[in-house]
Structure 1
Amino acid sequence: MTGSAQFTPAGSPPRYEVFHTDCPARAVIDHVTSRWGIWILISLRDKELRFFELRESIRGISEKMLAQSLRALVEDGLVWRQVEPTTPPQVTYGLTEFGQDLGEPLDDLFDRITRRLS
């Protein structure tokens, strides 16, 4: 195999090479494992939240970083965003099916870590 092209044998599902800089899965992994991405996914695991509720649930995150992280997760298809046409607009966020699927192992990781802490 030459260059950075990704080879997929005929008849098999696509397999991404996440170590290639041009791999589309790499950006999603970066967003999920970013400083705030993982906390957003964990916060949304059981319920839908409005922007200010998310900000309150994730201590230490700025509005700017929350907005940027949410925008990336929405673009990746992990989080959905619903805007109510009120004044001011009410924006609610929740996990898509893809986000819920990724959230399960994160939940497991979070639970394992917290069980081991004294």
Structure 2
Amino acid sequence: MVELHTSPLDNVFHALGDATRRHMLRDLAHGERTVSQLAEPFAISLAAASKHIKVLENAGMIRREVRGRTHVCRLDPGPLASAHEWLAAYERFWTDRLDALDRLLREEDARNATKPAQNPEGDSHE
């Protein structure tokens, strides 16, 4: 039997895979927003906005509180920190690789700077 469990990190990256949800998170980084406020910048219905919000909730990235008939959302940055931590390993990998490339290019430049200049036929200019 196939298990359909996903890790919390899978849910975070799934949620971040959509531009609308990323925009909603940016808005929530500035403070609480109602579902209507989160939907406002987009040409989507409140039902569609609510579906996006549910994905963010399932990823643990936002919390929704019901105040009367109004649903108010706020950012929960914990899962984003987990995603950042996971990405940091790759950041270190690429930083190390780019540093190695930089060293090789500087060594090549230094070798080329010490070689005498040559004309197109390969004879040196002396």
The equivalent residue for 1:98 is 78
Alpha-carbon distance, 1:22 to partner: 6.7
Provide the TM-score with structure 1 as the length reference.
Answer: 0.56
The equivalent residue for 2:23 is 39
SS in 1 for 2:19: coil
Does the CA contact (< 8 Å) of 1:79 and 1:99 recur in 2? no
The equivalent residue for 2:124 is none
Residues 101 and 45 of structure 1: CA distance in aligned 2, closer, same or farther (over 3 Å): farther
State the aligned residue count. Answer: 79
Does the CA contact (< 8 Å) of 2:29 and 2:75 recur in 1? yes
Gaps of 5+ in 2: 85-126
Q: How is 1:57-72 mapped onto 2 (pairs within 5 angstroms)? A: 58-72=41-55
Q: Percent identity, aligned pairs only?
A: 16
Residues 99 and 40 of structure 1: CA distance in aligned 2, closer, same or farther (over 3 Å): farther
CA–CA separation in structure 1 for the residues paired with 2:80 and 2:29: 7
CA–CA separation in structure 1 for the residues paired with 2:36 and 2:19: 19
> Which is worse superposed, 68-77 or 30-39?
30-39
Highest Rg: 1 or 2? Answer: 2
Gaps of 5+ in 1: 1-20, 105-118
CA–CA separation in structure 1 for the residues paired with 2:49 and 2:63: 14
Cα displacement string for residues 59-82 of structure 1 (whole angstroms, at most 9, x for unaligned residues) = 223322211110111121100111
